[in-house]
């Protein structure tokens, strides 16, 4: 069973959960704008109690905040049961396919364990990817309404960030294949009761894990350095702005930190994508092995 098979079978449940995530994300992205307006209204009300009404901005901001809470709550409420059932179904399917090929029990077991990485991808990494996409796009679009120069600076950094993380993904995919090969080898050693090579197995796991950590550190640090440069540039742009209120400055800084903060999970996402890509190739090749004898 490949990732395409899982998406096809569970497309409606996955789509519903991603809809909840999207509601949560959109509300979170637009919240700084409304909080900035509330901040300006409260400051204005402090200086002129009669002319400035802060109740409407307050109610709008509370509504947006509660919308964010609603999306997050619904996603967390339904994700547990959905992904638990998905794991049970997919693991059973993978074991059945492995048994029909006459694989050893050790291989069946390790394949069932590797299925957890599929579930982790759908449960954690896919919502993170959606958040990173919506946060980046939403922050850039919102910044265009405040100052186009800030938005263009953020847009310009997207391309080197994407290149660095794609490079990370390609290298991690190769390393994940080594890890998965070693995992299958461990169960084979245990089934054959060959404990003399157990230590060598764990030693073999060290180089790929170390290399993955190195690539993740390189990706993380490079992206963060790029983003802090962008932040400094934006600060100088903000100083040059005229007629900007406290609320607008708050919104700009909030959107900028949203744009910067969404990169924190990119290394983990690239590692997960590398793992999923190897599993997809691994399981797809095995699926072909089932079909060919029947032909």
Q: What is the mean pLDDT of each run of 10 residues along the chain (295 residues)?
A: 75 90 90 86 70 80 94 89 84 78 71 77 82 82 84 83 79 76 69 68 79 82 81 74 72 81 68 71 52 34
User: Position of tokens 């919240």?
Assistant: 31
CA atoms of 21 and 275, how far apart (whole Å): 23
Verdict on whether the full-model pTM lies above 0.85: no
CA atoms of 130 and 152, how far apart (whole Å): 22
Cα separation of the two ends of the chain: 19
CA atoms of 174 and 199, how far apart (whole Å): 23
> What are the tens digits of pLDDT across the range 247-282?
777 888 888 888 777 766 666 666 677 777 777 776
> What are the tens digits of pLDDT across the range 1-15?
667 777 788 888 889
- Does domain 3-294 match CATH 1.20.1560.10? yes
Domain boundaries, the chain: 3-294
């Amino acid at each position: 069973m490949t990732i395409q098979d899982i998406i096809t079978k569970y497309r409606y449940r996955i789509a519903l959960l991603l809809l909840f995530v999207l509601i949560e994300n959109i509300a979170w992205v637009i919240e700084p704008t409304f909080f900035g307006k509330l901040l300006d209204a409260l400051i204005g009300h402090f200086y002129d109690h009669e002319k400035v009404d802060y109740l409407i901005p307050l109610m709008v901001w509370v509504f947006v905040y509660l919308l964010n809470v609603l999306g997050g709550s619904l996603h967390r409420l339904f994700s547990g049961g959905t992904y638990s059932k998905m794991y049970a179904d997919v693991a059973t399917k993978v074991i059945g396919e492995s048994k029909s090929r006459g694989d050893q029990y050790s291989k069946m077991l390790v394949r069932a364990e590797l299925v957890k990485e599929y579930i982790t991808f759908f449960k954690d990494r896919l919502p993170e990817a959606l958040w990173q996409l919506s946060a980046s796009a939403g922050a850039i679009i919102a910044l265009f309404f405040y100052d186009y120069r800030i938005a263009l600076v953020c847009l310009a950094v997207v391309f080197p960030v994407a290149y660095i993380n794609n490079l990370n993904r390609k290298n991690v995919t190769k390393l994940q294949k080594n890890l998965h090969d070693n995992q299958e080898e461990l169960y084979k050693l245990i089934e054959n009761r060959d404990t003399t090579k157990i230590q060598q197995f764990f030693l073999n796991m060290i180089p790929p894990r170390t290399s993955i950590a190195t690539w993740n550190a390189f990706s993380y640090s490079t992206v963060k350095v790029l983003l802090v440069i962008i932040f400094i540039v934006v600060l100088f742009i903000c100083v040059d702005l005229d007629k900007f209120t406290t609320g607008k400055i708050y919104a700009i800084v909030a959107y900028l930190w949203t744009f910067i903060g969404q990169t924190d999970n990119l290394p983990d996402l690239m590692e997960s994508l590398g793992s999923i890509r190897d599993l997809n190739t691994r399981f797809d090749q095995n699926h072909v092995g089932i079909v060919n004898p029947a032909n």
